[in-house]
Amino acid sequence: MSDSQITFKEMCARFDVTPRTLRYYEYIELLTPDKDGRTRSYGAREVARMVLILRGRRFGFSLEEIRQWLDIYEQKGDRRQMEVWIEGADRQLDALAQQRQQLGESIFELQQLRDEAAETLKPVK
């Protein structure tokens, strides 16, 4: 294995993913490690793809959307691919903004309930 290659175990550790997750990404062809028998090794291309996969998951994209994103990254994408990706990103930005609003409302409501409960525990003067 060359210096630029990392093992399956190292890949799991570097990205804090389970072996099952890494095997699944390989199974659905998001990653294509080099294989020597049963031994897998990952080069710079696969490491970069894993960064994009995890970034996409963090942003809430589906694995199929991530696959399209990787295709654009890999091939530099044509205009239509970029437009489709931008549309998907816009949808996800809207969904994340809505989640942020809902989270803010939940935090506010929970804070009020907590404060009311704390107020009832104060000693009477």
pLDDT band at 117 (very low <50, low <70, confident <90, very high): very high
Of the chain, the percentage scoring pLDDT greater than 70 comes to 96
Say what the pLDDT of residue 3 is.
Answer: 62
Say what the pLDDT of residue 2 is.
Answer: 54
Q: What is the C-alpha to C-alpha distance for residues 43 and 7, in angstroms, rounded to an integer?
A: 9
Residues 73 and 88 in one domain: no
Say what the pLDDT of residue 69 is.
Answer: 80
Domain count, the chain: 2
Task: Annotate 22-41 with b (16+ C-beta within 10 A) or e (fewer).
Answer: beebbeeebbebeeeeeebb
Say what the pLDDT of residue 63 is.
Answer: 93
**Rg, the chain, Cα only:** 22
Determine the 3-state secondary structure of 60 from DSSP: coil
Whole domain around residue 95: which residue ranges? 78-125
Q: What is the C-alpha to C-alpha distance for residues 117 and 99, in angstroms, rounded to an integer?
A: 27
Q: What is the CATH number of the domain that holds 71?
A: 1.10.1660.10
Average pLDDT over residues 38-54: 93
In this predicted structure, the answer to whether residue 1 has a pLDDT above a threshold of 90 is: no
pLDDT of 84-110, one tens digit each? 888 989 999 999 999 999 999 999 999
Residues 94 and 47 in one domain: no
